Structure 1
Amino acid sequence: MELTESFLRSRKIETLVENRSTFTLDHTELSIFETHQQAENVYLKFSDPVLASMLMGKKIMHLNQHMDFDFLPGESVILPSDEVMCIDFPEASIKNPTKCLAMAFEQARLDKILDNLNEIRPKIDNQEWKFTNSNFHFTNDVAIQHILQRLIFIFTEQHPSKDIFADLMIQELIIRIVQTETKTFYSKNANKLSSNNRIAHVVGYIKENIREHIQVEQLCKIACMSESNFYRVFKEELGLSPIEFIIEERIKLASSLLKNPEFRIKDVYFESGFNSLSYFNRMFKKKFKLSPSEYKHQAATIS
């Protein structure tokens, strides 16, 4: 993501650590933070739920619940209201500043979006759409990345209808985030949830059989749903089709295997459930912008 020219021209640098530029619209506030020197133990807190997304550089985040992680461009984290962040900036400098956006959402607006979603697109098996009340760290998919880029433009431009434009984009952003969280939650808790959630049961089956040839017809039977209904429900709840989810899980497995020096690339694609090396190479590069051999070399270098 890139900051707009209008933002770069208008913002004022008043401090070298977490210099903040703020833009406020109805129900939502966007802040751009820039840090131009190394720093440690910088504390930050928002009174509303917030989405933080890295634009440039690197942070080390220390959150409650003993959650510590490197925060890199293309990643986001959801934080509940009044969550205290402790942040380190190990690499920030004048020439290489760290930049991050933080979008704070009015709780009542979040509740309205989710209430509407639960009314018109309810989950199956009596589940409800909910916005996380704990920390959720994830990698932006292409859709979320594009929405955030568009929102930066909308917030920083001078347009009389930008509240309307932003509200529509934020609705889509919230829905895609809760789909991403649902997908992650099902993946981590498939066995626990499978007894009373059909989609979680399918996710568990896919993960357990990822190396095998998985047919969508079989997944429909496991879910006890018609093919058309299964496709619709699966994509509504997880944000991607069953085939896309299977490929994503196989690529995830392949990326972990490539970090093992004992695995050759032809071993990795086979162990990950792919039956074509060229297809594996194409899907892997689409995800990571690196070929499997480049990824393996980079992982070995880091190690």
Structure 2
Amino acid sequence: MQLSEKFFKERKLQNLVENQTSYTLNNAAMHVFETHLQADRVMLQFDQPVLASMLIGKKIMHLRDKKAFDFLPGESLILPSKEMMCIDFPEANHDNPTRCLAMAISEEKINKVIRVMNETIPKHDGSEWAFMDYNFHFTNDASIYGIIQRLLYLFTENHPSKDFFVDNMLQELIVRILQGNSRKTLEENASKLSTNNRLANAIEYIATHLHEPLTVGELSKKVYMSESHFYKTFKEELGVTPIEYINSERIKLAVKLLKDPNRKIKEIYLECGFENRSYFNRLFKRKVQASPGEYQSKFTD
């Protein structure tokens, strides 16, 4: 993820630890924090819910009810308002700074989007969309990566309509974050929820049958929904189509299996449910930014 040349020309580097450059608009404020010195136990808090995204470098995060964890480029974290962050910077130095984006979004904006979601795309199990009151740590998918990159540009742009542009991007960002959170909740609790939640039932079935051919038609029958209704409900609540989800889970499994340098790639892609080597290679490279062979070679002695 790249910051604009304009950012580097205009920002003032006054502190070696968590130097802050801020841009404020109607419904959000974007802060870029830069650290050029190793530091421990740096405290940070915002009055509004925050999307934090790592740009470069490494942080170690200490949050309530959660073990300390590495926060790395390509990852994001959703924090509720008033959440206290305690941060270590184990590797930061002048040549290897840590840069992180923190975007504070007004609760009024978030609640407005949630109201629209509950009116237009209600959940199939009767529950309501709601903003998470805990820390949601995730790897950016292509859609969220693209939105954050666009917001980095918009906040630093001198354009009379940038408030309008940012507002539209924030709406999409909130929807995609809520869908991602819904997906993670269903994945982590699939067996517990599968009796009463049809999507959880489908996710549990996918997890245990990745090695087999899977179709939308087959899955819709398993959960007693029409094919079109299942497809629509799955995409609205999880943010991806059933096939996109299946392929993503298969690639996750392939990543695990490829860590064994003695396994043959053909053996692995068949075990993950792929019938076609070129299709597997294409999806793997898109997700991992390396071919299966290149990735597996990292684990060769």
Matches within 5 A, 1:122-201: 122-201=122-201
1:47 counterpart residue number: 47
Could you tell me which amino acid in structure 1 is paired with residue 97 of structure 2? P
RMSD: 1.4
Per-residue CA shift, 1:170-222, capped at 9, x if unaligned? 00000011111111111111111111211111111111111111122111112
Matches within 5 A, 1:54-93: 54-93=54-93
May I ask how many residue pairs the two structures share in their alignment?
Answer: 301
Q: How far 1:238 moved relative to its partner?
A: 0.9
> Retained in 1: the 8 A contact 2:261–2:299?
no
2:275 counterpart residue number: 275
Matches within 5 A, 1:279-290: 279-290=279-290
Could you tell me which amino acid in structure 2 is paired with residue 23 of structure 1? Y
Give the ranges of 4+ consecutive aligned residues of structure 1 lying more than 6 Å apart after TM superposition.
none
How far apart are the structure 2 equivalents of 1:109 and 1:186?
A: 26
Could you tell me which amino acid in structure 2 is paired with residue 177 of structure 1? I
Q: Please state whether the residue corresponding to 2:73 is helix, strand or coil.
A: coil
How far apart are the structure 2 equivalents of 1:80 and 1:150?
A: 23
Greater shift, 67-76 or 164-173, is seen at 67-76
How far apart are the structure 1 equivalents of 2:167 and 2:65?
A: 32
Q: How far 1:243 moved relative to its partner?
A: 0.7
Q: How far 1:262 moved relative to its partner?
A: 4.5
Q: Provide the TM-score with structure 1 as the length reference.
A: 0.95
Q: How far 1:298 moved relative to its partner?
A: 2.3
- The answer to whether 1:34 aligns with 2:15 is no
Could you tell me which amino acid in structure 1 is paired with residue 267 of structure 2? D
Q: How far 1:39 moved relative to its partner?
A: 1.5
Could you tell me which amino acid in structure 2 is paired with residue 42 of structure 1? V
Per-residue CA shift, 1:266-286, capped at 9, x if unaligned? 222122121222221221111
Greater shift, 225-234 or 283-292, is seen at 225-234
1:107 counterpart residue number: 107
> Retained in 1: the 8 A contact 2:193–2:201?
yes
Q: How far 1:106 moved relative to its partner?
A: 1.4
2:216 counterpart residue number: 216
| Identity among equivalent pairs (%) | 54
Q: Please state whether the residue corresponding to 2:42 is helix, strand or coil.
A: strand
> Any unmatched runs of 5+ in structure 1?
none
Q: Please state whether the residue corresponding to 1:92 is helix, strand or coil.
A: coil
Q: Please state whether the residue corresponding to 1:181 is helix, strand or coil.
A: helix
Q: How far 1:66 moved relative to its partner?
A: 2.5
How far apart are the structure 2 equivalents of 1:128 and 1:254?
A: 34
Q: Please state whether the residue corresponding to 1:22 is helix, strand or coil.
A: strand
Per-residue CA shift, 1:39-74, capped at 9, x if unaligned? 122111112111100111111112111332211111
> Retained in 1: the 8 A contact 2:216–2:231?
no
Matches within 5 A, 1:15-34: 15-34=15-34
How far apart are the structure 2 equivalents of 1:7 and 1:285?
A: 31
Per-residue CA shift, 1:98-155, capped at 9, x if unaligned? 1110011111221111011110111112022122111111111111111111111111
How far apart are the structure 1 equivalents of 2:80 and 2:176?
A: 17
Q: How far 1:89 moved relative to its partner?
A: 1.4
Could you tell me which amino acid in structure 2 is paired with residue 52 of structure 1? A
Q: How far 1:257 moved relative to its partner?
A: 1.4
How far apart are the structure 2 equivalents of 1:300 and 1:103?
A: 40
Q: Provide the TM-score with structure 2 as the length reference.
A: 0.96
